[in-house]
Amino acid sequence: MIAFEVKDMTCGHCVSMITKAVKGVDSDAAVAIDLASKRVEIGSSAASPDEFRSAIAEAGYTPTEATGAPAAPRAATGGGCCGCR
């Protein structure tokens, strides 16, 4: 499991963009994102953590290595930094 903390992920649109970036690296990757804890978890054996980190950064976010236990996933709520609903 690859895990990142993405502190500048603030809304459902961000979640969508990060998911799209991860899937661009490995379309079969399992992606679990907890918006509340700003944690992105990726299950993939086809790509390295650096490849995913680069893709997330190219999408406009700042991923850092996550520490600690995974957080329980929570549903994203509408609204956010970019005005999406």
Q: What is the mean pLDDT of the chain?
A: 87
Split into its structural domains, the chain has a count of 1
What's the pLDDT at 5?
Answer: 97
Structural domain range at position 43: 2-65
CATH number, domain containing residue 6: 3.30.70.100
- Residue-wise pLDDT for 73-82, tens only, equals 544 444 455 5
pLDDT tens track for 43-74: 999 999 999 999 999 999 999 999 876 655 54
Nearest in space to 31 (alpha carbons), one of 55, 7, 8, 62:
55
**Nearest-angstrom CA–CA distance, 48 and 70:** 19
Tokens of 68: 């600690």
For residue 76, the model assigns a pLDDT of 44
Determine, yes or no, domain membership for 84. no
Centroid of chain to Cα 36 = 12
Position 67 scores a pLDDT of 81
